[in-house]
Structure 1
Amino acid sequence: MRRHCPMPCSAVSSFSIHQPRWRNAVFVAPYLLFFSTLLVFPLIWGIWLSFHKADMFSSGRFVGIDNYVRLFRDAVFIQSIWNTFYFVLLTVPALALLGLFLALALNRNTRSAAVFRTLFFASSVLSVTIVTLIWRIVFIPQFGLLATIFGWFGAQAPAALSDPDLAMIAIAIATVWWCLGLPMMLFLSALQQIPGDIYEAAALDNASRWRTLTAITLPSIKRTFILVVIIQIVLQFQLFGQALLMTRGGPNNVTRPIVLYIYEVTFRRWDLGLGAAASEVLFILILLAAMGQYLVTRRKGEVA
């Protein structure tokens, strides 16, 4: 029986699934609009402002790289860069390793494991204001929780938030407690994607737990580990609320991160050009740190 074409043959011959269909752009347009408005335009605008002497009321005049020269001559800004890197070194390894440890310990289909997963993740939904209030109470000299614990042993707790050597460590402890839930959940998700047949084969071969961990579990979640480290680098470089609410950048600027410096320069000194230049420096530092970590880890993985 001869089949008839339900539409004109010329239309069928002219249609191809490989041809571009521009009406599909309608579905992408909302995302592109928000992406351009909230990311691309502010990035370009910030770069433009960094080359101008600007305030909140006018864009000012073009000054070239003068804002960057002033920035790197400012000892407070140089110290804020070191403070930010120090904070990242304190928090990122701790978050990655503790998150992995908790995920391995709580990767169980039991009620107690579910309760502990909920408890450890619960701190992640708190606001920075609540987190800093809790930890300020912990670190209050003489009357805080830390002072009470030290008092049980007849010792005196250090004034962590007013000690230049301990203030950033205290902020890092509060941040790790606050942010630990996300790495834990990412590692749990990765662990649950590993096929159980592999572990059954390892058990038949009488592989020890350590051998199973190093030969099966860790290689299987290597990409997740890289993802967690990169996410935490990006997040912890943006330290702001904890430093502002717990120490206000003190004592002696030892806890003043780059974002707090940007906030003070822009919204207290009304120097938008200098603040924009500092923002671009922060963007480059985050980009270099994240890409460097990714490339180093990827190269080690290829060699292995």
Structure 2
Amino acid sequence: MITTNRKKWNGYEQLLAWLFLLPYLFFYLWFMFYPIIKGFIISLNKWTIGIDPQFIGFKNYAVMFKDANFWEALWHTVYFVIISTPSLVVVGLALALIVNAGLKGTTFLRSAFFLPHILSISVISSIWVFVLQPYTGLVNSILHRFGFEGEIFWLNEPNLAWISILIATVWWTVGFNMVLFLAGLQEIPDDLYEAARIDGANGWQCFIHITIPSLRGVIMLIVVLQSIASFKLFGQPWIMTQGGPGTATRTLVQYIYETGFRRNDMGLASAMSYILFIVMILFAVVQFKFLSKKD
């Protein structure tokens, strides 16, 4: 009798849980799952705003793979992922170690490191355009005070432009990584460090053999999140360099935007979006495979 009542109660709890989940599931399917399916359908059509769509199968994908501009934009995106992800991990960990050291002014430092993250991408990019501009920019003015002659055009030379975009991105997003690393550092038991010091380990050895292994899960999470975010890079180069000089900093998301809204070719833009989606999934799978802890 007790077992029967317990089963009925469990069934009632499950039904109640589904009733509470249904509103969320409805909006999730409508605003997340449906656009994914709809986007794939659009990629199979010649889809132009104002004209009835025409089904053309995988022709958009064939056109895309023959487009040299697509491959260039994809390489720029992958290149930014390669240079930005390690930078964001290393700088985020360094800031977390500083904040976790218990120095005076820790509250101020924590706020100062995190505050840029709450600003919008347009504000961040505009600030760095002002800081990096020639003649009157803050960076060039500082260099002149130290005796450097001439002007550095940070946003007009391809390599310097990528460095500028990287600096702006790190300054904007590293505060979030710092918070994640700080949470991970505070979860490491002090007993491990005390036992290591008793055995004669120095600070560097404690960092290599205790801190890094203990943060393995946090590192994997940050690497995956930052890789996905870097694949979606658009605002920084769009505002800071407009994809230039020339097309040297044009990313795939920018090229998708130009294809869809400037050339009015929504079908081809949707096809590019799906390829970007597949590349992001492959990167995430590879990262999980190599960074996940082996049992």
TM class by smaller structure: over 0.9
Shift of 1:201: 2.2
Equivalent residue number for residue 55 of structure 1:
48
* Secondary structure at 2:243 match in 1: coil
2: CA distance, partners of 1:10 / 1:66: 61
Show the counterpart of 2:287. Answer: 293
Q: 1:171 deviation in Å?
A: 0.9
Structure 1 unaligned regions, length at least 5:
none
When structure 1 is superposed on structure 2, of 164-173 and 97-106 the one drifting more is 164-173
How many Å apart are 1:164 and its aligned residue? 2.2
**8 Å contact 1:146–1:157 — kept in the other structure?**
no
Cα distance in 2 between the residues matched to 1:10 and 1:250: 70
CA deviations 1:166-205 (Å, max 9, x no partner) are: 2122111111111110111100000001122222222333
Would you say 1:279 and 2:273 are equivalent positions? yes
The yes-or-no answer on 1:198 pairing with 2:178 is no
Deviation at 1:302, TM superposition (A): 2.5
User: For structure 1, which segment, 201-210 or 287-296, has the greater mean C-alpha deviation from structure 2 after superposition?
Assistant: 201-210
Residue type matched to 1:27 in 2?
F
Partner of 2:15: 22
Deviation at 1:108, TM superposition (A): 3.3
3-state DSSP of counterpart to 1:229: helix
Report the Cα distance in structure 2 between the residues aligned to 1:232 and 1:38, rounded to whole angstroms.
23
- 3-state secondary structure, aligned to 1:197: helix
Distance 1:207 1:47, change over 3 A: same
Q: TM-score, structure 1 length as denominator? A: 0.90
Shift of 1:22: 3.1
| Secondary structure in 1 matching 2:255 | helix
How far apart, in 2, do the equivalents of 1:221 and 1:162 lie? 39
CA spacing shift, 1:13–1:143, aligned 2, 3 Å: closer
Q: Is the counterpart of residue 82 in structure 1 residue 75 in structure 2?
A: yes
CA positional deviation for 1:110? 4.6
> What is the CA-CA distance between 1:59 and the residue it aligns to?
5.2
User: Within the alignment, does 1:187 sit opposite 2:175 as a pair?
Assistant: no
Greater Cα offset, 68-77 or 16-25: 16-25
- Matched ranges for 1:155-194 at <5 A: 155-194=149-188
1:102 aligns with 2:95: yes
Which residue in 2 is equivalent to 1:67? Answer: 60
1:10-31 Cα shifts (integer Å, max 9, x gaps): 9748736378843431111122
Give the letter for the 2:256 counterpart: I
Q: 1:151 to 1:37 in 2, by over 3 A?
A: same
* Greater Rg by CA: 1
Q: Percent identity?
A: 37
Q: Residues 107 and 15 from structure 1, CA distance in 2 versus in 1: closer, same or farther, beyond 3 angstroms?
A: same
Contact map agreement 1:150 1:156 (CA 8 A) in 2: no
Contact 1:150 1:157 in 2 (8 A): no
2:113 is equivalent to residue 123 of structure 1:
no
Deviation at 1:277, TM superposition (A): 0.4
Q: Give the aligned CA root-mean-square deviation in angstroms.
A: 2.1
Which 5+ residue runs of structure 2 have no aligned equivalent? none
